[in-house]
Structure 1
């Protein structure tokens, strides 16, 4: 048996906090790394939705149940409360209608994990202030013209969004590199965030 691969930091946080034996829908699941980890370490029944055909093929090659689809279009077909968790990792900022995607996420799953890069991180701010150019960082590695990110969300934007909609934040993790940072200064200091939500 091959050793488990190392997960990206936000995915590792999610994997550690999904209950044993749960039913999970991973939306924008990429190559299925999180789903495979959940299946192998948590006995999770994981399903995936992924827009990129190459990633779908990679996930299926791992023995995972993944279909090709678009979160902006295909979530409407899933029944209410059909999963214990719906997961949207590093995908929110790429959705055309992130508010509707989140509504579906919280309808489909009893709980939802959402992770995203924080566009208010100090390096992003500094790049704009001093260089006057869109930043290229470890968390945001693409140039402005080929990035999939179309909605530049900050931690404080997301907090205000869920608060205005009465969405309950059960937990939140704020990450700088591979380490957690405090909630108080997260909008400035965290490179990305993970939220656990429910209605």
Structure 2
């Protein structure tokens, strides 16, 4: 395990382009809280939360390029395989744990979800919705879907599974998760009806069952 604590370069924030789910996530995060971002990628979300909400953030990322990008953004990052679990952290070590478009890339889904809600008071989870109508149409035409929320081809995707909003709702209880709130998006717009077929991105606010 390697923990890197770089100095923040303020100029790096001008290059940040928040994803659609970042704003929904930021809405649920309290200022100056502690945040653990699981599968933090290049650290853009933690850099945004640190810049705007002054959170005390830590990221976990296995990819070396992602770790380097975190360092360049001034993000505290631990280089570790998320699949190995979160034994490093005690119960409710953080105010928030975040799985931002990471859920579909892991194999031990139920175990990681259970660990996520264990280490934090609340958790925020976002994922591409495979039930979105254009995804369904692509499958009906005989192809794996490629879209803004699922941008990879079948042969180079990091995703190991796909899921829908209904799938996550049904599995939450088995993973020991209580759903507090959710917002369904498409191209940054909130979808209020027909969410499982009109929304391409789901963002959930959850906590551990007591």
Q: Displacement of 1:97 after TM fit?
A: 0.7
Aligned residue for 2:86, secondary structure, equals helix
**Paired residue for 1:102?**
113
**Paired residue for 2:7?**
none
- The CA distance in 2 between the partners of 1:151 and 1:46, in whole Å, is 28
Does the Cα contact within 8 Å between 2:110 and 2:175 map onto a contact in 1?
no
1:168 to 1:40, Cα distance in 2 relative to 1, 3 A? same
- The CA distance in 2 between the partners of 1:164 and 1:24, in whole Å, is 25
**Paired residue for 1:194?**
203
Instruction: Summarize the alignment of residues 125-144 of structure 1 with structure 2, pairs less than 5 Å apart.
Output: 125-129=136-140, 131-144=141-154
Show structure 1 runs of 5+ residues with no match.
none
Match of 2:60 among 46, 49, 52: 49
**Paired residue for 1:62?**
73
1:169 aligns with 2:179: yes
Q: Displacement of 1:164 after TM fit?
A: 4.5
1:93 aligns with 2:110: no
Q: TM-score, normalised by structure 2?
A: 0.89
Does the Cα contact within 8 Å between 2:127 and 2:202 map onto a contact in 1?
yes
**Paired residue for 1:13?**
24
- The CA distance in 1 between the partners of 2:174 and 2:74, in whole Å, is 40
Q: Displacement of 1:63 after TM fit?
A: 1.5
Q: TM-score, normalised by structure 1?
A: 0.94
Aligned residue for 1:30, secondary structure, equals coil
- Aligned-residue RMSD, C-alpha: 1.4
- The CA distance in 2 between the partners of 1:90 and 1:143, in whole Å, is 17
1:26 aligns with 2:37: yes
Q: How many residues align?
A: 197
Q: Displacement of 1:87 after TM fit?
A: 0.2
- The CA distance in 1 between the partners of 2:65 and 2:177, in whole Å, is 34
**Paired residue for 1:145?**
155
Match of 1:185 among 168, 172, 194: 194
Q: Displacement of 1:166 after TM fit?
A: 5.2
**Paired residue for 1:38?**
49
- List structure 1 runs of 4+ shifted beyond 2 angstroms: 1-6, 163-167
Q: Displacement of 1:74 after TM fit?
A: 3.9
